[in-house]
Amino acid sequence: MVGLQWGDEGKGKLVDYLADQFDAVARFNGGSNAGHTVVIGDKKHTFHLVPSGALKGRELLIGAGVALDPSVLGEELLILPENVRRKLLIDARCSLVSPLDKEFDAVLEKMRGTSAIGTTRRGIGPAYAARALRLSPRVVDLFGDPKFADISRFYSSLGVDPSALPEWIEESKRVVAGLVGDVGSRVVEIGKRGGSVLFEASQGTLLDLLHGSYPFVTSSHTVVSYVPAGLGIPPSEAGEPLGVLKCYTTRVGSGPFPSEIKDHTSDQIRSVGNEYGATTGRPRRVGWLDLVALKYAVGLNGVKNIAISKLDVLSEVREFRVCVSYRHMGSETSNFHGSLGYLSEVEPVYESPFTMYGARYDSGLPTQAKKLVDYLEQALGVCVTLVSHGEERLRTIEL
């Protein structure tokens, strides 16, 4: 399952919903910058590192492509039911995120000044950068060379005090003890005995380090093609992707957002949809559906099936708009990419095909929602297989 926008499409809710059909749920990218929400009755759970199948009692896998912050994982495990820990397997190759990475994340943001990315400050950029520099401590190293001399010298040279490391190493060992193994082999093994694994992406396609709205992106890969690499499995084992989109768009942090709503409707949608960051609590920026961006994301991920979330939110909003193309330098275009700055120069071209106002979901999919499903299937060349119309687990319709 991958997000087709800038994250927060409702992946957590749908992973939990679908988890019944799988033996295990695996994360393959990102780190504790993710905030995946699952609501059962009136109880809300936010997952940062633990896969969102935890409350369905599934086996839980954290693949090598994840940047693992043991402090966050420790806190997360404390508030989850006791049996969740026993279900967890963490790949030994995961890079670790330390307090130094978090401190340096803040230093970099300050350095960028007005062009700050608006990161989650979870140390994600520095941790993946250290991996690329071949300085990153990994989970396996906690039990081998726990001095972490290279990363310590590296941060000292940047003016970041490494003295917190020894205590953090001891705490990290305690958190991951008994949970470390080879996730790639485990996924293949589950497949061999006829089982299946749901791969849960964090972030969204437009935040991908290579293919997103660079430089306003995250530091890992958020697209389907990263599933095998992030887990350490052959591409042939990666299965069929499901894309998730929210029936409007949100973005947390800075960066271009062509279909951003500039009037009071954005406040209304934010309030009805409770659009505040699950990790940082920041208000999310709100925009209309953007078909240019979505066609790009659908193409990049090769998704044939999609899920649409948050339809209930549009029931409260009189207006409904869809961005069908961009205008750039006097001509219409459906190009999502371009030079740095291109996305902040384009003007959205909108269509208001129908209104979703007043649609009710108590007795199945209402006519207005059927119209939206048909409209998106036509426009994106996909099949809509799931519709989510409320935060609660059961507010889901399979088509």
Minimum distance from residue 185 beta carbon to ligand IMO (Å): 26
Q: Considering only CA atoms, which of 178, 231, 204 is closest in space to residue 11?
A: 204
How is the beta sheet containing 59-62 ordered, strand by strand? 180-181, 88-91, 59-62, 24-27, 197-200
The C-alpha R_g of the chain, in whole angstroms, comes to 21
Give SS3 for 154.
Answer: helix
Minimum distance from residue 311 beta carbon to ligand GDP (Å): 6
Long-range (24+ apart) CB contacts under 8 A made by 361-369 are: 361/311, 361/312, 361/315, 361/389, 361/390, 361/395, 361/397, 364/397, 365/397, 365/399, 369/311
Site for Mg ion in 31-50 (CB under 5 A): 35
Of 13 and 186, which has the nearer Cβ to ligand GDP? 13
User: Is 122 an interacting residue with respect to ligand IMO (CB under 6 A)?
Assistant: yes
CA 261 to CA 203: how far, in whole Å?
21
Identify what 69 binds: Mg ion, ligand IMO, ligand GDP, none; CB under 5 to 8 Å per kind. Answer: none
CA 288 to CA 258: how far, in whole Å?
9
Number of other residues whose CB lies within 10 A of the CB of residue 188: 16
Minimum distance from residue 118 beta carbon to ligand IMO (Å): 5
User: Is 32 an interacting residue with respect to ligand IMO (CB under 6 A)?
Assistant: no
Is the Cβ–Cβ distance between 194 and 205 less than 8 Å? no
Minimum distance from residue 387 beta carbon to ligand GDP (Å): 8
Of 35 and 228, which has the nearer Cβ to Mg ion? 35
Is the Cβ–Cβ distance between 265 and 232 less than 8 Å? no
User: Is 309 an interacting residue with respect to ligand IMO (CB under 6 A)?
Assistant: no
Given candidates 29, 52, 95, 202, which one binds ligand IMO under the rule CB under 6 A?
A: 202
CA 267 to CA 382: how far, in whole Å?
31
Of 102 and 389, which has the nearer Cβ to ligand GDP? 389
By annotation, the residues acting in catalysis are 8, 36
Minimum distance from residue 313 beta carbon to Mg ion (Å): 16
**Do β-strands 59-62 and 24-27 pair in parallel, antiparallel, or remain unpaired?**
parallel
Report residue 50 as tokens.
Answer: 């633990």
Given candidates 213, 219, 249, 388, which one binds ligand IMO under the rule CB under 6 A?
A: 219
Identify what 191 binds: Mg ion, ligand IMO, ligand GDP, none; CB under 5 to 8 Å per kind. Answer: none
CA 245 to CA 212: how far, in whole Å?
16
DSSP structural state of residue 87: T
Of 131 and 246, which has the nearer Cβ to Mg ion? 246
Number of residues forming the site for Mg ion (CB under 5 A):
3
Binding segment for ligand IMO (CB under 6 A), chosen from 6-14, 18-26, 58-66, 382-390, is 6-14
Burial class (CB in 10 A: 0-12, 13-18, 19+), 173: middle
User: Is 253 an interacting residue with respect to ligand IMO (CB under 6 A)?
Assistant: yes
DSSP structural state of residue 283: B
Q: Considering only CA atoms, which of 232, 213, 231, 210 is closest in space to residue 221?
A: 210
CA 123 to CA 253: how far, in whole Å?
15
Given candidates 14, 15, 34, 346, which one binds ligand IMO under the rule CB under 6 A?
A: 34
Minimum distance from residue 72 beta carbon to ligand IMO (Å): 12
Given candidates 117, 197, 313, 384, which one binds ligand IMO under the rule CB under 6 A?
A: 117
Binding site for ligand GDP (CB under 6 A): 3, 7-13, 35-37, 39, 273-274, 278, 309-310, 312-313, 388-391
Binding segment for ligand IMO (CB under 6 A), chosen from 52-60, 65-73, 115-123, 180-188, is 115-123
CA 135 to CA 137: how far, in whole Å?
7
Binding segment for ligand IMO (CB under 6 A), chosen from 34-42, 304-312, 316-324, 342-350, is 34-42
Given candidates 252, 261, 313, 373, which one binds ligand IMO under the rule CB under 6 A?
A: 252
CA 196 to CA 34: how far, in whole Å?
23
Report residue 110 as tokens.
Answer: 């300050």
User: Is 256 an interacting residue with respect to ligand IMO (CB under 6 A)?
Assistant: no
- What is the contact surface with ligand IMO in residues (CB under 6 A)? 3, 6-8, 33-36, 117-120, 122, 124-125, 202-204, 207, 218-219, 252-253, 278
- What is the contact surface with Mg ion in residues (CB under 5 A)? 8, 35, 278
